[in-house]
Structure 1
Amino acid sequence: MNVNVATERKSLKVLIVEDTKTITNLLQVYLMGWGLEFVDAPNGAVGLNKAREFKPDLIISDVQMPEMDGFALCAAVRADSNLHDTPFMLLTSLKDDASRKKGQLVGASAFLNKPVSVDDLRSKVRDMLKLPATK
């Protein structure tokens, strides 16, 4: 007897930590087409709690936010044994080399400047999550 078992692909979760709701919504629109599940947080402190609760496959975070900035969030994620391998992308309007170096020091997987290039964002996310190209 031949049994055909359908395998369901787990939906990949992306945590977007951004204090501007419009940017959160834009990022979600930019990343449509892969069936990603989105969770969002308005600052790093809330983002860290949500990361611990939802265990995302990718974290995309603004740098400049109230309560806990993106650098501190990235460092906290890297220090957490359950999250330390999670790909982490920092987005910022800061364009200085010191900020980029700080992002590397805290363990960011990628660092993109705002305004974000949709192609660059999609390319980085595709690489980090090992997603297929979309039409």
Structure 2
Amino acid sequence: MNANVATSRQALKVLIVEDTKTITNLLQVYLMGWGLEFFDAPNGVVGLSKARELKPDLIISDVQMPEMDGFSLCAAVRADSQLHATPFMMLTSLKDEASRQKGNLVGASAFLNKPVSVDDLRSKVRVMLNLPATNR
């Protein structure tokens, strides 16, 4: 579906699963101006429940969280027949190659290191949501 058509009907939904509210707020600021509707969850358990309820267009998740980490959340999303094709971006302060490989193995669409580069974040979100390049 063309993103312009989608935004004229309803905003594209982005679920941010992050245990640090400051980072959640910062991500929303970075992605403002694209007509996105944001939802948040403090951990993977709540995130999975919200994802099943909302059917978001994109999930952005921290890796290291209490109760259910981002790897487990991504694997659960990929195993869910209604969510399996949802773009899933992982954010982490883990810098090792094994973590990146684990993210790929569970089906992450993108893997960005913290602190997040605003340009990298916007570029990847634009591609994942099929937004025109004229958006910031």
Q: Does 1:30 align with 2:30?
A: yes
Alignment root-mean-square deviation, CA: 1.1
SS at match of 2:33: coil
TM-score under structure 1 length normalisation:
0.93
Aligned counterparts of 2:76 and 2:36: Cα–Cα separation in 1:
24
Separation in 2 of the partners of 1:8 and 1:30?
Answer: 21
Aligned equivalent of 1:40: 40
Cα-to-partner distance string for 1:90-129 (whole Å, 9 max, x where unaligned): 0000000000000000000000000000000000000000
Distance 1:67 1:46 in 2: 9
Q: CA deviation at 1:9?
A: 3.0
Residue aligned with 1:60, SS = strand
The structure with the largest helix share of the pair is 2
Q: How does 1:1-135 map to 2 (within 5 A)?
A: 8-133=8-133, 134-135=135-136
Off by >3 Å, runs of 4+ in structure 1:
none
Q: Which of the pair has more CA radius of gyration?
A: 1
Structure 1 unaligned segments of length 5 or more: list them. 1-6
| Superposition deviation, residue 33 in structure 1 | 1.1
Distance 1:52 1:130 in 2: 22
Q: TM-score, normalised by structure 2?
A: 0.93
